[in-house]
Amino acid sequence: MTIGQDEWQLEAARLMNVREQIERKIEELDATVDIRRGDAETIRLNFWNDISVNVENEDDLIETAASITQQAHVLSGQERSYKLAYDALRKLEQIVDTPYFSRIDFVEAGSSLEEQIYIGLASFLDPVTDEILIYDWRAPISNLFYDFPPGPASYTTPEMTIEGELKLKRQYMIKSGQLLNMFDTGISIGDEMLQQMLSRNADDKMHSIVTTIQREQNLIIRDDKHKVLIVQGAAGSGKTSVALQRIAYLLYKYRKTLSADQMILFSPNSLFSDYVSSVLPELGETNMQQTTLQDYLSYRLAGAELMVEDSYDQLEFVLSADTVLQPEDAARLEGIRYKGSAAFLQVIEAYGARLRQEGIRFSSFSVGAKVLISSEQISGFFYEKQTTMSLGDRMENMKEWITGRLDEIQLEAEKRIYRKLSKEPKYIGADQELKRMSRQKAQRALGPLKEKAEKLQFIDVPGLYRQLFESSELYASLAREVRQELPEAWEAIKQYTSSKLKQGHIMFEDATPLVYLKGIIEGQQTVNTIRYAIVDEAQDYSPFHYAYLRKLFPRARFTLLGDWNQGIYAHASQEGAYSSIGELMAEETETVRLVKSYRSTREIVEFASRILPHGEPVEPFNRSGEEPRLERASDEQDLTRRVVASVKAWADQGIHSMAIICKTKQETRRAHELLVGHLPHLQLITKETLHFAAGVMILPAYLAKGLEFDAVLIYNAGRQVYAEERERKLFYTACTRALHQLQLCYVGEPSPFIM
């Protein structure tokens, strides 16, 4: 829709006016911040001068303490009011150049007043009249912009639903305070605007999508009815973007009771965490906590002298396994699938319940050959006393009992040492010294044992876990108890697992079950402060992982965002497992689908969709580009030449962000060796890489998860590299990282996935 000249002038004048008001407010706040900072500093400097310190008698002491408390109170009040002004100032500085990005005109039913609502990153009131000049994008009324085309519309406030008619929906492009363009939009939010946003180049950091959030995305962002919200979204449909916008929305809506440190985002890896780290600050919010499942598991298993494999090494194993699987590899693959299942979870829980009654093997507390507290004594205490308590509470009690016993033993030892040493002539007359020495010696002997008690190291949890795979009788009876069949490959899984555990290796697939069992036995360490847990790349988690997360965050609501088409882990290959996740969470669950893909051009989306003919549906956004290019190389040398030529050609076209995507770590290393001489700025990305900096990078496909690049080159899309069914989704994931250009090189025959 074209917008007339008069309208332009009105809008430009309003923009100028609003900016001037913001600038005035900034000046005012600047001064306030200075004053409050100064006041706080003065109080801090004079803190002790303003306190009457008198310690002569008890009354004086009480008065002094009261005086200190009062002064501390004054100081913290002043610091709070400084912080308030400072935050308000920061917010205005953030919006002054782009105060708003859209406008809606709305007439409430029964009224003739047509209200103009301008929407931006944060609200701003006219300092004199208190009129709202800008509405926060998260305010209830702003929902009209995201949810409705012009026509009948309504929005809901905490008190009521307001009906009316939306007369106009307008979007602005404002940069450095200048109105560059504006569009009146119809059904969806600004196709023109969206076209422009999506045609831009990829960046070092992900950006917010606040100006062009689509209706289907908005529903997810604002959902606060469901305790578990599951989003199945196509590659590039905006899952990560939506997750971050949702966090910002919840922080606004529940600003009186919710803070960023009560929200946690589970990311696929540290590189991704870095990539998304600026979205919340861009929206004027503090970042939530970010972590990876791997970090959590490592933290829980730290200290145990075990070699814990990480998820990437597991993936490398799966991707490098021979086409005709060796029996050992087949056993491991079956094991990975089974150990991620709800069936295995039930067996572990039944095992935990049985261990309440019997079966935990405790190690005794000894110094040298002398047993201080025997395993029988511990077992007796544990299984005969307080049997009605939870396992965790019983452990706590037992810990206290053991520590108490060790304290007594230490005291006796101290006395014994004292008695013995005091007979030595050199200590005569040095009684104080002697006492100190005796205490130290006794402490030194008993200290490690107390630490062992404190850390519950007298229970061999890995040993208990291993027992499941050593005693056929035990496992079979537990499985029977929970009415689960043993998996077909049980014998092979059993042998493989017990031999690895005996060598002290914890495979990634065993890490969560082991931590889970540890939680049952030792008392689960829960994180009660977390109110929202958001899991990105949710398809990569097994039902077992979800059960663990549920236990870990008992008070949290969950948002799980994933794409079955990109399930690259062997444990995540069961299609449609979302419903079982819902069941596992045992709570009201809503599943929402996002099918439209915004990242890639139509040509790339269509090409990638052919890789997964039976996958989840994907609909491209209407943005055209070049067809993906296939290039056959005669050998490795020719491949290097072609890759180098393509990268250079892209650079000549001004393309800045490029990725050469390989399958495995080994292929990545080899390709890097061959290419780096010709492409000196090539960045080699490994699982240890922490920072994402756009440029030309080379990386294995699994590390490219969640990321995007202007141009993607699949290093070798040949049949020798991608042919197994288990590699199809990884291949798909790699291709869908491209925004504008996709090229696939191959040696020999192309992969059957693209024939």
Contact call for residues 90 and 84 (beta carbons, < 8 A) = no
**Of 23, 26, 73, which is closest to residue 50 (Cα–Cα)?**
73
Shortest spacing between CB 706 and ligand ATP, in angstroms: 4
Among 206-214, 294-302, 381-389, 626-634, the segment contacting ligand ATP (CB under 6 A): 206-214
CB nearer ligand ATP, residue 300 or residue 596: 596
The yes or no reply on residue 213 touching ligand ATP (CB under 6 A) is yes
CB nearer ligand ATP, residue 347 or residue 568: 568
Contact call for residues 406 and 365 (beta carbons, < 8 A) = yes
Among 22-30, 209-217, 573-581, 723-731, the segment contacting ligand ATP (CB under 6 A): 209-217
> Would you state the structure tokens that stand for residue 348, as one six-digit string?
């572990």
> Can you tell me whether residue 446 is helix, strand or coil?
helix
The yes or no reply on residue 240 touching ligand ATP (CB under 6 A) is yes
The yes or no reply on residue 218 touching ligand ATP (CB under 6 A) is no
Q: What residue has token string 């294995």?
A: 700
CB nearer ligand ATP, residue 194 or residue 556: 194
| Binding to ligand ATP in span 690-729, by CB under 6 A | 706, 708
> Can you tell me whether residue 720 is helix, strand or coil?
coil
- Please identify which residue in 164, 190, 238, 628 interacts with ligand ATP, judged by CB under 6 A: 238
Among 129-137, 148-156, 191-199, 294-302, the segment contacting ligand ATP (CB under 6 A): 191-199
| Torsion angle of the four alpha carbons 633, 637, 642, 644, in this order, in degrees rounded to the nearest 10 | 160
The yes or no reply on residue 239 touching ligand ATP (CB under 6 A) is yes
Task: Tell me which residue has its CB nearest to ligand ATP.
Answer: 238
Instruction: Report how far apart the first and last C-alpha atoms of the chain are (Å, whole number).
Output: 44
> Would you state the structure tokens that stand for residue 311, as one six-digit string?
């998820």
Among 205-213, 362-370, 450-458, 668-676, the segment contacting ligand ATP (CB under 6 A): 205-213
The yes or no reply on residue 197 touching ligand ATP (CB under 6 A) is yes
Shortest spacing between CB 233 and ligand ATP, in angstroms: 5
Q: Are strands 596-597 and 696-700 parallel, antiparallel or unpaired?
A: unpaired
CB nearer ligand ATP, residue 236 or residue 513: 236
The contacts of residue 227 (CB under 8 Å, 6+ apart) are 557, 558, 585, 587, 588, 589
Which parts of 553-601 fold into alpha helices (H)?
Answer: 578-585
Shortest spacing between CB 166 and ligand ATP, in angstroms: 19
Can you name the residues that pair with 172 across neighbouring β-strands? 182
Shortest spacing between CB 310 and ligand ATP, in angstroms: 21
Ligand-binding annotation for 237, yes or no, is yes
Ligand-binding annotation for 238, yes or no, is yes
439-462 burial: b if 16+ Cβ within 10 Å, else e: bebbeebbeebbeebeebebbebb
The yes or no reply on residue 615 touching ligand ATP (CB under 6 A) is no
* Beta carbons within 10 angstroms of residue 617's beta carbon: 11
Task: Measure the CA–CA gap between 51 and 59, rounded to whole angstroms.
Answer: 15
**Of 490, 487, 485, 455, which is closest to residue 470 (Cα–Cα)?**
490
CB nearer ligand ATP, residue 104 or residue 735: 735
Ligand-binding annotation for 240, yes or no, is yes
The yes or no reply on residue 563 touching ligand ATP (CB under 6 A) is yes
CB nearer ligand ATP, residue 267 or residue 314: 267
Task: Measure the CA–CA gap between 558 and 641, rounded to whole angstroms.
Answer: 48
Among 19-27, 192-200, 337-345, 357-365, the segment contacting ligand ATP (CB under 6 A): 192-200
- Please identify which residue in 99, 164, 236, 628 interacts with ligand ATP, judged by CB under 6 A: 236
Task: Measure the CA–CA gap between 316 and 329, rounded to whole angstroms.
Answer: 12
Shortest spacing between CB 537 and ligand ATP, in angstroms: 7
Residues that bind ligand ATP (rule: CB under 6 A) add up to a total of: 22
Q: 618's torsion region: left (phi>0), alpha (psi -120 to 50) or beta?
A: beta
Q: Sheet harboring 589-594: ordered strands across?
A: 289-291, 263-266, 532-536, 557-562, 228-233, 589-594
- Please identify which residue in 142, 143, 237, 640 interacts with ligand ATP, judged by CB under 6 A: 237
Ligand-binding annotation for 239, yes or no, is yes
Task: Measure the CA–CA gap between 575 and 100, rounded to whole angstroms.
Answer: 43
The yes or no reply on residue 217 touching ligand ATP (CB under 6 A) is yes
Shortest spacing between CB 671 and ligand ATP, in angstroms: 23
Sequence length of the chain is: 755
> Binding site for ATP: what residues are annotated?
233-240
Q: Residue numbers of the site for ligand ATP (CB under 6 A)?
A: 194, 197-198, 209, 212-214, 217, 233, 235-241, 563, 598-599, 706, 708, 736
